[in-house]
Amino acid sequence: MMDKVLEAIDAYDMLSGGETVICAVSGGPDSAAMLSALMELRARFSLSLAVCHVNHLMRGEESERDENFVRDFCAGNDLDFRLLRADVSAEAKRQGLSPEECGRNLRYGFFEKTAAEFGSGAKIATAHTLSDSVETVIFNLTRGCGLRGLCGIPPVRGNIIRPLVFCRRIDIENYLAEKKCGFVSDSSNRENIYSRNKIRNIIKPALEEINPGFEGNVGRAAGKFALLENYVSEEAQKLIDGAYIRREDGYALDALRRAHPALLPEAVLRLLGNQAHDINAKQIEAICAAVRSGRGGVNLSPSFSVSVSKEILRLKETSRAETAPVCVNARIGVNNFLENKKVFLEIYDFPGVENLKKVHLFLLKNSIDYDKINGKILLRTRRKGDAFKPFGRGNKSLKKLFNESSVPLEKRGGLAVLSLGEKILWIERFGVSAEFACTEDTKRALHIWTESKEGELTTQIESAEANGRADVN
């Protein structure tokens, strides 16, 4: 197993040396093996290790047993231990999510928050294996997926690394037995009430009867699909760049129509950038149909839409502030800012994270905890050396962030940036920084958004604490 771990670390440049690694440890065999392996490699890579455990409070005494096991292991090995206890079942009902999706959101939010405490270079290690990746491919196939869904679990995603990604379950079991490592077993893994368990316990064994090498074959195929997906993405970006018409701030339909049919949906995804996380396959196809027909549009959310007319595709982001379920204390319009934009800011009494999640994700994404602002904030464009940590993602340079989100080169210099000293609070299209995001402790929030407007202006905004307003200088 250790050979495969080192192979994965080297192949995907997971560790350069000297990092703090936040290890996501449930106490199960996979995470126990990963933690043991990283402890073995600690001296070799000069690593500092911390352990995060999430108690989902879903399995009664068994959940408590798991928590105590991980806590005791960390205490016995002088490891920094961090704990999140969350009633996932209740939280899932409040958010209208499945327990699986809700639990995942809570876990990764906790991991990112912990990593942020150790600085921008901290990594998050999760114990996903080759077997998990194969199960993901099967799961995505059952739901219907594109090329991206066939790529399995990415070995690296931002600051998240998966050092067991080349390891099968049999590798894990052999390693644990050899090292005499303790672990705990989750009895719910044997219950076929979850989709993943059905795949693991029923579908995979049946496929392995057909071909014992099934798992390795799918893993290799997923790697090829990942290379192909990367190629398609690059070609889609070239298509977008070639179709962009600066004077119209839109994309020429004739250029999009000439593309191979496999490229158009990918190009649409890249055009939508950060908004693509919230749309489905039907909406993508509706946009493609509008491109082919030359007319129509799709409202992707109350704040974001795509329109096609006069042989141009345009993206439109609009304000939702007029329907916000909050009491507005102040509202400021900054006219003629940047490239034909009008910038708005408003301070409001924050109603709580969960309340906004239900009805106003756009507002939440673009709201800053007002009481965390201490000093003058500057509304500007990007500068050389700027870095940003969006909520739930790793710290990135703006260049890398724009590249990953397919922001056209022509538009990058026109995006609004709100900063406090050297720290970026907010970026247009990407939302608020993780450091200044609203929490359940937030009392007042500063909402910021943009609309198209003619003209140009550079402005500075003063945070006024005493009377709950913002002054534009």
Residue 299 and residue 390 share a domain: no
CA–CA separation, 231 and 67 (whole Å): 43
Find which of 25-34, 369-378, 412-421 is predicted with most confidence, using mean pLDDT: 25-34
Residue 266 and residue 385 share a domain: no
Q: Please name which of 213, 185, 184, 214 lies closest in space to residue 199, comparing C-alpha atoms.
A: 214
pLDDT digits (tens, 9 = 90+) for 312-366: 998 886 543 333 322 333 334 443 445 556 777 888 778 777 766 655 666 778 8
391 domain-assigned = yes
CA–CA separation, 266 and 311 (whole Å): 20
Residue 450 and residue 345 share a domain: yes
215 domain-assigned = no
Q: What is the mean pLDDT of residues 140-168?
A: 88
Residue 259 and residue 337 share a domain: no
| Mean pLDDT score across all residues of the chain | 81
Residue 179 and residue 122 share a domain: yes
pLDDT at position 251 is 92
254 domain-assigned = yes
Residue 45 and residue 8 share a domain: yes
pLDDT at position 186 is 77
Residue 253 and residue 201 share a domain: no
300 domain-assigned = yes
Residue 371 and residue 293 share a domain: no
Picking from 181, 210, 239, the residue at the C-terminal end of a domain is: 210
Residue 181 and residue 271 share a domain: no
pLDDT digits (tens, 9 = 90+) for 63-116: 999 999 999 999 999 999 999 998 888 888 877 777 888 888 899 989 999 998
pLDDT at position 67 is 94
Count of the separate structural domains present in the chain: 3
Host domain of residue 381: 324-472
Picking from 148, 178, 210, the residue at the C-terminal end of a domain is: 210
CATH number at residue 276: 1.20.59.20
- Provide the percentage of residues in the chain whose pLDDT is more than 90: 33
Residue 268 and residue 172 share a domain: no
216 domain-assigned = no
Residue 152 and residue 176 share a domain: yes
Residue 250 and residue 364 share a domain: no
pLDDT digits (tens, 9 = 90+) for 265-288: 888 888 877 555 556 778 888 889
Q: What letters, b where the CB count within 10 A reaches 16 and e where it falls short, cover 364-377?
A: bbbbbbbebbeeeb
246 domain-assigned = yes
417 domain-assigned = yes
6 domain-assigned = yes
